[in-house]
Structure 1
Amino acid sequence: MRVLLIKPGAIGDLLQLSPVVRAIKRSRPQARITILVGNSASVDLFRYNPAVDEVLVYEKKGVHRSWSAFGKLWRELRKRRFDLVVNYQRSNLKGWLLAAASFPCRVLVYHKEKRRVMHAVENHLKAVAPLVGDPGTLDQRLELYLGGEDKRWAEELLARESLNGKMLVALNLGASHPVNRWPTRRFAELSDKLQAAGFGVVLVGGGSDRELADAVLADCADRPLDLVGRTTLLQLGALLERSSAVVSADTGPMHMATAVGTPVVALFGAADPARTGPVGEGHLVLQAAGISCVPCRSRSCSSEKKLACMEAISADEVLAALKTI
């Protein structure tokens, strides 16, 4: 059985697909699974996953804006003669054109649950329920497999920075949507408090988080290790795996941490943890109390007091949460 999963999404969205991959492989051990992702960097999320046979790239805002490049990808998919296509990008016309490359075949389609709040992982599994069974009975843990080279990189880095043997806390500064971000001064305050208590601290994030990192460092009395924008995706995963805990808002590295088994203190305001919170045991979600609009589930803040929900989470609250995990 040849299976194509169409999911050109962000890091967290793709990792939320890992339980789907696992469930299909357990249900159909002979299945050959191909995943269609949205950029070349995302390939690494499945590079070492033993249940994934192939990862293809569909850059809808990049090279595949050209109809000639799109047609070449379509023909590549056609040659593979998939028996099942699961379309997690049903609102995208070109996504359907790519799905059509496999016709005639069986097609399953993802629909976001509207009748009740359902975690995204369970919602992803629901799309393949005819194949794998009741999502509520399945293992919903996220998985990120790392390569030996990336693990060695993390080990050597921590030794070089004299962080081996210390409780290491990774602070992920950014979030795709600004409404989900914790203030930089709070991160700086937390970093100082952690280091004063004997913890090692490392700042992590992507290249687009560089401005946030500079703001945090400007407010720090004791400079933490700064790796923002200085790691590959799998190096970041290896570093998160070696960390004792991760502090993050609702964004990709938060899901990466859970996928490598590291406890997370997740900071939520506008986003709803019942939908996108950390999956698995040992994680804590902090959400501001007494703010009526939480969670608004919006990507912009319309409150008179902008981002009060994230401002209200104090560094002391996060520090206390870290000490419990």
Structure 2
Amino acid sequence: MSAPASICLLRTSAIGDVTHVVPLVRTLQQALPETALTWIVGKLERRLVGDLPGVRFVTFDKGAGRAGIRAVHTELKGERFDALLQMQVALRSNLLSLGIRAERRIGYDRARSKDLHSLVVNERIPARTGEHVLDAIGSFCEPLGLKQTQVRWDIPIPDADREWAQQQLPGERPTLLVSPTSSHVLRNWRAERYAAVIDHAMARGWRVALVGGPSHQERAMADAVLAAGTHAPLDLTGKDTLKRALALFARAQLLLTPDSGPMHMANAVGTKVLGLHAASNPDRSGPYSDRRWCVNRYDEAARTFRGKPASELPWGAKIEKPGVMDLITVDDVIERFEAAASHLGLS
């Protein structure tokens, strides 16, 4: 089989899932160095990955509704790709893909298809269950005769953003970053519990910084955490960009966060993640490289809120119920913090 001249990748969101596409891009670039790669990506997400070398980016502004879809179709008018990797099953993405001309239209297996996905693809990735999201995305190269055997990110971080992060976190002091807010509200932990862990870490001599975006929700959570604690962590909420956040994560030893985009950004730069999992399964959506430091109460959540063990739920089922994150205690998190500190030689 000859190498394709051009491949279009369609994965527009969200931040965490977009980081999972980067290793696939690296796999394609290594195996198919002459193949032109075009990636249709969300407007926000492009700020994170849009400077990957060797990739042409087409921005999809989902906030623009039908006009955003038309803008992508206009930019690609007259083009035809050898293959489309349709890596998003949401209805909006399936409609977006209709205007992309491609001989081979590779999508998810039937079990993972929804929202008319089956109508916009003509090939499928292997049907598997029990995979991490990154591995599922990585399998999109398999119909092309490839295999993702190495996971590599190397997302560029501009020097100016590294310098900014060094100014915020100077020196080599052990640092815990806390990104307390997920875009899924029911994945969030209680502010007073974050504050208790921060007090513990700072009493142990760690530098702690709160990080997060400029949204009202993130500002309100940060203020609640600050009000609940006795120690005052550095507050960087709303002060970073996606690239600055990457640079901050690269300077820290550990990130405490619920299931969220920052979890996967930190993992991509090699930082350990103390993930909080009750509403979601860390084996599917936790930090890909190292999940040893996560608190996993997903099975307990399944038994409490669904009346059955996690093994009997569909793979990837979310348990986003009020109170589910209360299954994670402060002691649970402190235990994982101390274990990670010991592993890093910082106890």
Aligned to 1:225: 234
Cα shift at 1:106:
2.0
Retained in 2: the 8 A contact 1:37–1:56?
yes
**Residue 114 to residue 185, structure 1, CA distance change in 2 (3 Å):** farther
Matched, 1:24 2:35: no
Distance 2:76 2:326 in 1: 47
Distance 2:192 2:287 in 1: 24
Distance 1:89 1:282 in 2: 25
Report percent identity of matched pairs: 28
Matched, 1:184 2:191: yes
Aligned pairs, how many?
311
**Residue 300 to residue 313, structure 1, CA distance change in 2 (3 Å):** farther
Distance 1:320 1:255 in 2: 22
Q: Which runs of 5+ in 1 are unaligned?
A: none
Aligned to 2:244: 235
Aligned partner (choices 308, 320, 332) of residue 300 of structure 1: 320
TM alignment of 1:1-325, pairs within 5 A? 1-39=5-43, 41-51=44-54, 53-60=55-62, 62-66=63-67, 70-92=69-91, 95-111=93-109, 112=112, 116-135=129-148, 138-159=149-170, 164-208=171-215, 209-281=218-290, 283-288=292-297, 291=300, 293=302, 297-301=317-321, 306-311=324-329, 314-323=332-341, 324-325=343-344
Retained in 2: the 8 A contact 1:248–1:267?
yes
Distance 1:115 1:272 in 2: 16
TM-score normalised by the chain length of structure 1:
0.86
Q: Which runs of 5+ in 2 are unaligned?
A: 113-125, 304-309
Higher relative contact order (CA 8 A, sep 6+): 1
Retained in 1: the 8 A contact 2:282–2:291?
no
Distance 1:114 1:184 in 2: 40
Amino acid in the other structure paired with 2:53: P
Amino acid in the other structure paired with 1:321: A
Distance 1:299 1:100 in 2: 32
Amino acid in the other structure paired with 1:20: L
Q: Secondary structure at the match of 1:55?
A: strand
**Residue 76 to residue 211, structure 1, CA distance change in 2 (3 Å):** same
Amino acid in the other structure paired with 2:214: G
Distance 2:176 2:146 in 1: 38
Distance 1:289 1:10 in 2: 22
Q: Secondary structure at the match of 2:300?
A: coil
Cα shift at 1:300:
2.5
User: Aligned-pair RMSD on alpha carbons?
Assistant: 2.5
Distance 1:283 1:79 in 2: 49
